[in-house]
Amino acid sequence: MLTRNGFGVWSLVSKRAFKAIFNSPSLEVIENFKKKGFSDLKEIAIYIHFPFCHSICLFCPYVRYPLTKFGNEIFSKYIEALNSEMEIYGSMLRELGLKVKVADVHIGGGTPSLLEAENFQSLRESIRQSFDAEVSLAIEANPDDLADQEKAFKLADAGVNEVSLGVQSFNPEALRKLGRVHGVTQSVQAIQNLKDSGIGHINIDLMYMIPSKIGQPLQSLKEWEEDLSQASEQPVDEITCYPTLITNYSLGWKLVSRGEISQPSKKVFKQMVYMAEDYLTSKGFIPLEIYGYSKHSDWKYVTVNYEMEGSLLGLGCGAAGFVNGYEYQNTCFVPDYIECVREKKLPIAGIREVDKLEHAIRFAVCELFVCRSLSFDVFKRKFGLEFHELIGKSGFGRFLKMLKLLGKIKEKPEGLELTREGLFTAQQICWSFVLNVPCRISEEFMKEVCPSKVAIP
């Protein structure tokens, strides 16, 4: 099973390689974060978390709550809170005399498509006021929210220019097994509506390695090929393929711990990975990430994976951010989030400093094992040192040497590259890291409102 201990040696490597302690922020730490974190900041990406869904899918690993817990009236309160959080950062930047460029704004969740066009307009207005930036928005969406053509058109008018749609599968049985509430017809309709609305770029997410109840047939390679085939025929710019990861805090965990469900074998996992690679590239999609295939060499829907690439300001309940050597986690509790920003306090529940070597290693991992290659020039520009000088003698440097000997990566004068042989290794490294680091961080911060300390693993 694709759980945090389910990747054998890779699970152990992820746990050993990454150790972190997040502390509850004291006034002094917040002051340092403001001064050091934001000094010299020239550009930021913004990620806004919207933690509400109509209903919760069986294996969802994100910070999300069923709407029934709060009722629809939470939306206006939440948007107001987001506006306040932006004002806090905006006035901080003004106090520091900084004018920062906003590179892009992604809204994820949860299900941001539950919001109406006016809400997105209001968020853009807040960004304009707080960061003096004119932006378009990239949002995650559920097909059932966009099966109505008018909504898609209104979102495009409100400045939404990229949409990542959670199609997951074109097989009704697979949707049922994941606990999805939309049908295949709604997905196809939503894609067409987005296309007709003129929204700039459309990504669709697919899921594979779908768990089944014991006794029911497991997802087959044939079914996965059928999904890839249907996806490639849609008028979309990108297809992203996620194996179904299983966290301890997902609704389906109980079934897993009672031994009531299973997933296709590791051998089939590997075959599914190479099937996606071969099928989608044969249809003209370019492999820009190990799981993302785009029709354009210069566009992909980027969520929060690249937190280590540049400065990422995470806003909203449950968001994580990374600014100039500080990594922080906002509170994962909605009432706490709203109360904090009302009192003009940053809603940070845990924060830690990240040293240069750790930053460099996480950047290199993202580049090589997610984006498939690492340029030595880009590395040097970012960290001011040669790759081999900074990384060479570290444990990570030795790990890379071993992967080179095994033929999983190769070195060229300009940088490192993942080989075809290394694709499945990279998948295992990537997903065991996701389960053991970001998912573990969310899990810990969802347990207690103000933990004094959170240690990972």
Ligand X SMILES: C[S@@+](CC[C@H](N)C(=O)[O-])C[C@H]1O[C@@H](n2cnc3c(N)ncnc32)[C@H](O)[C@@H]1O
Which residues bind to ligand SF4, rule: CB under 6 A?
53, 56-57, 60, 62, 64, 109-111, 142, 166
- Residue 82 CB, shortest distance to ligand X, in Å, is 17
- Residue 186 CB, shortest distance to ligand X, in Å, is 11
- Residue 131 CB, shortest distance to ligand X, in Å, is 24
Task: Give the residue closest to ligand X by C-beta.
Answer: 166
- CA gap 129, 256 in Å, rounded: 47
* 44 in Cβ contact with 102 (< 8 Å): yes
219 binds ligand X (CB under 6 A): no
- 209: alpha, beta or left, given left = phi > 0 and alpha = psi -120 to 50? left
- Residue 211 CB, shortest distance to ligand SF4, in Å, is 14
**Chosen from ligand SF4, ligand X, none, partner binding at 153 (C-beta under 5 to 8 Å by type):** none
211 binds ligand X (CB under 6 A): no
Beta bridge partners of 204: 165, 239
207 binds ligand X (CB under 6 A): yes
109 binds ligand X (CB under 6 A): yes
Rank residues 57 and 313 by Cβ distance to ligand SF4 and give the closer one. 57
Rank residues 60 and 323 by Cβ distance to ligand X and give the closer one. 60
CA 262 to chain centre: 25
| DSSP 8-state class, residue 375 | E
H runs (alpha helix) in 19-166: 27-32, 38, 74-95, 117-131, 143-146, 149-157
- CA gap 156, 198 in Å, rounded: 7
Max Cα distance, the chain (Å): 64
28-67 residues in contact with ligand X (CB under 6 A) are 53, 59-62
Rank residues 57 and 430 by Cβ distance to ligand SF4 and give the closer one. 57
Nearest to 119 by CA among 65, 66, 161, 77: 77
Query: 3-class DSSP state for residue 186?
Result: helix
Rank residues 57 and 400 by Cβ distance to ligand SF4 and give the closer one. 57
Rank residues 78 and 363 by Cβ distance to ligand SF4 and give the closer one. 78
Q: Which residue in the set 244, 294, 330, 442 belongs to the binding site for ligand X (CB under 6 A)? A: 244
Rank residues 153 and 249 by Cβ distance to ligand X and give the closer one. 249
Q: Which residue in the set 115, 245, 351, 403 belongs to the binding site for ligand X (CB under 6 A)? A: 245
**Chosen from ligand X, ligand SF4, none, partner binding at 242 (C-beta under 5 to 8 Å by type):** ligand X
- CA gap 360, 39 in Å, rounded: 20
**Chosen from ligand X, ligand SF4, none, partner binding at 106 (C-beta under 5 to 8 Å by type):** none
CA quadruple 201, 428, 283, 188: dihedral, nearest 10: -50
**Chosen from ligand SF4, ligand X, none, partner binding at 159 (C-beta under 5 to 8 Å by type):** none
- CA gap 293, 185 in Å, rounded: 23
Task: Give the residue closest to ligand SF4 by C-beta.
Answer: 60
Q: Which residue in the set 108, 159, 321, 347 belongs to the binding site for ligand X (CB under 6 A)? A: 108
**Chosen from ligand X, ligand SF4, none, partner binding at 56 (C-beta under 5 to 8 Å by type):** ligand SF4
For the four alpha carbons of 276, 279, 281 and 286, in that order, the dihedral sign comes to negative
User: Which pair of tokens denotes residue 105?
Assistant: 């704004």
Rank residues 34 and 106 by Cβ distance to ligand X and give the closer one. 106
Q: At what angle do helices 9-17 and 422-436 cross, to 10 degrees?
A: 50
Rank residues 191 and 403 by Cβ distance to ligand SF4 and give the closer one. 191
Q: What is the SS3 assignment for 18-45? A: CCEEEECCCHHHHHHHHHHHHCCCCEEE
242 binds ligand X (CB under 6 A): yes
Query: Contact letters (x/-) for ligand X, 158-187, by CB under 6 A?
Result: --------x-x-------------------
**Chosen from ligand SF4, ligand X, none, partner binding at 205 (C-beta under 5 to 8 Å by type):** ligand X
Q: Which residues contact 240 (CB under 8 A, 6 or more apart)?
A: 164, 203, 204, 205, 206, 289, 291, 292, 293, 301
- CA gap 131, 125 in Å, rounded: 10
**Chosen from ligand SF4, ligand X, none, partner binding at 369 (C-beta under 5 to 8 Å by type):** none
Q: Which residues bind ligand X (CB under 6 A)?
A: 53, 59-62, 108-109, 111, 140, 142, 166, 168, 205, 207, 242, 244-245
